[in-house]
Amino acid sequence: MKIIEQAVKKGLKSLSEYDSKRVLSHYGFPVVKEKLVDSRAAAVKAAKAIGLPVVLKACSPTIAHKTEKKLIEVDLRTLKEVERAYTAILGRVEDETQLDGILVQQMIKGPRELVVGMIRDAQFGPCVMFGLGGIFTEVLKDVSFRIAPLEKRDALEMAEEIKGAPILRAFRGMPAVDLELLSSLLINAGKLGLENEAVKEMDANPLIIAGDKPVVVDALVVLEGGSKP
């Protein structure tokens, strides 16, 4: 992919969140509505187009943990809040940071969060990961793995293997997750790894379940020779 090739030529170790989601979108992942902007006026315009409430994030290939660095402002419900958040985030960005812009993103909430990932193993090649997402990924480690390429049967088995599998079914008034779509995302995560040797890792985390559909809210693509920032 051109995005990946250009990043490699620039010597980048990872893609920005925005570019990571562009890669995932190419592979059929539904991504949150968002726009990358470079001015406060453009942020306001984007918020109007996307619809309030929105989230603002610093966007850079060298920043991973935006929350800890206070480079994300969530649940902005007025245009004044958008203006204030834009200025505040810019003020917190370190001088040496390679900033691509500020990401204005639709605010999506949901009690069910998943993760889909790809890790390039030295022995087995691209391996696909699936599990509970959000802040619980590293804590609970409730994940399943398969070596790419995946068949639909493999993807469905991955979904059933995690301890949290019951949340994929109809649950407390929430509809069952669209397993057809979910299985296609797992298959395509494997394709991403097989078709792009420069990609070392991919994390789509979280995928928030909006209705019955998973939507990518944050993502990271790590390139060969790099590590998670």
What is the CATH number for 88? Answer: 3.30.1490.20
- The residues that bridge with 130 in the sheet, in sequence order, are 116, 144
Domain final residue pick, 85, 106, 127: 106
Same domain assignment for residues 82 and 131:
no
- pLDDT 10s digits, 9-21: 999 999 999 999 9
Same domain flag for 7 and 22: yes
Same structural domain, 89 and 189: no
Assess if residue 44 is contained within a domain: yes
Model confidence over 153-184: pLDDT tens digits? 999 999 999 999 999 999 888 999 999 999 99
* pTM of the predicted model over 0.75: yes
Radius of gyration, CA atoms only, the chain: 18
Residue 229 within any structural domain of the chain: no
Tell me how many domains the chain contains.
Answer: 2
Could you tell me if 190 and 206 lie in one domain?
Answer: yes
Q: What is the pLDDT of residue 92?
A: 94
Range of the structural domain that residue 150 is part of:
2-30+110-223
